[in-house]
Amino acid sequence: MAKINYTIATFGSHSALQILKGAKDEGFKTLIITLLDRKDFYQRFPFIDKIITVKNYSDFPEIEEKLVKENIILIPHGSIVAYLGLEKNKSMKLKYFGNKQVLDWEADRAKQREWLHKAEINLPKQFDNIDDVTYPVIVKSYGAAGGKGYFYAKNRQDFEDKIHHLKDAPFVIQEYVIGVTLYIHYFYSPLTKTIEIMSMDRRYETNVDSLGRIPLRGQEGLEIEPSYVVVGNSPLVLRESLLPEAYAMGERVIKASKELMGERGLFGPFCLETVITPDQKFFVIEISGRIVAGTNLFINGSPYSDLIYQEPMSTGRRVAREIEIAIKENKLGEILN
């Protein structure tokens, strides 16, 4: 693979290994920015050319001053958003793959719903007034990561008994959709204006995904509450008859993003987090506007990427491929922020 005079960089967490392996496979130089105590770990991987360590991610703006002068392209992932926060992400000066306008639409739950609603996506009902609620519901505090702090309520009494755990944190009350959870990983190319499904996963959440292993009889009297803390991801293939709607949802989300966020809208990797009900409808509980960690299952490609590519194509590698094509076609400005 020909060397390209650009370095692809990311922070040392989340999907960094996948992103940098994919970048190397596409002929880029690679850089990881990580905490000092992870240096030895990342050194194990020969596809990482350079490691820069920081004591704390809050020190990042200092090193950014130096990096900005080099040909470096940063690939954002969920941990970068979490470590630096929304404002620092937006004010970052490094070349950044993606459209930063999406960050505002994603971070605000109300805006996210407006976006998905415009895209004609089924959404779980949300209740503003406690007297209007139909049960069961899931109560979500703001800013909870990885499902931590969410609770399930089967009726008003159950809700009243549990709500004090959230203390004063703001929350939303959402219809609990009973079905199979499925996270669909898309890639939208702004260069070819096409959408691709790269892979799919299910999050494995404790303890909700294990409750079915204990019969109701065995649970009675134990007062086990479902919790939604993510511990891992497992693959799933979707019934083929549901695949056209999976593609169509992705397309509608992109179209709506262009109407709401300016011409470029959302591009690159994104994920629709869905629950599929017995009548085979997708309900979307959340959208992530970048690579999600579930794609790590598919460093060597997936059944879906295999339908499109003749070589192993992870989402990380697909990002690098897009950058490579943009460089060749002199369109880098179209995909960076």
Q: Which residues bind ligand ATP (CB under 6 A)?
A: 124, 138, 144-147, 150, 174-177, 181, 203, 205, 228, 273, 275, 285-286
Nearer to ligand ATP, 150 or 187 (CB): 150
CB of 174 to ligand ATP, least distance (A): 4
CB of 256 to ligand ATP, least distance (A): 20
Other C-beta atoms lying within 10 Å of the C-beta of residue 146: 14
Nearer to ligand ATP, 145 or 169 (CB): 145
CA–CA gap between residue 71 and residue 73 (Å, rounded): 7
CB of 12 to ligand ATP, least distance (A): 21
* Structure token digits, residue 176: 């609990």
CA–CA gap between residue 43 and residue 152 (Å, rounded): 43
Closest CA to 199 of 93, 295, 121: 295
CB of 93 to ligand ATP, least distance (A): 26
CA–CA gap between residue 293 and residue 301 (Å, rounded): 14
Nearer to ligand ATP, 49 or 108 (CB): 108
Closest CA to 316 of 91, 39, 44, 14: 14
CB of 210 to ligand ATP, least distance (A): 13
Nearer to ligand ATP, 138 or 323 (CB): 138
Question: Which DSSP string do the residues of 179-227 spell out, in sequence order?
Answer: SEEEEEEEEEETTTTEEEEEEEEEEEEEEGGGGGGS-HHHHTTS-PPP-
Check if the beta carbon of residue 266 is closer than 8 Å to that of residue 99: yes
Q: Where are the beta strands (DSSP E) in 268-321?
A: 268-276, 282-288
CB of 156 to ligand ATP, least distance (A): 18
Nearer to ligand ATP, 147 or 232 (CB): 147
The residue at minimum Cβ distance from ligand ATP is 147
Nearer to ligand ATP, 134 or 330 (CB): 134
Query: Given the structure tokens 């991801």, which residue do they identify?
Result: 233
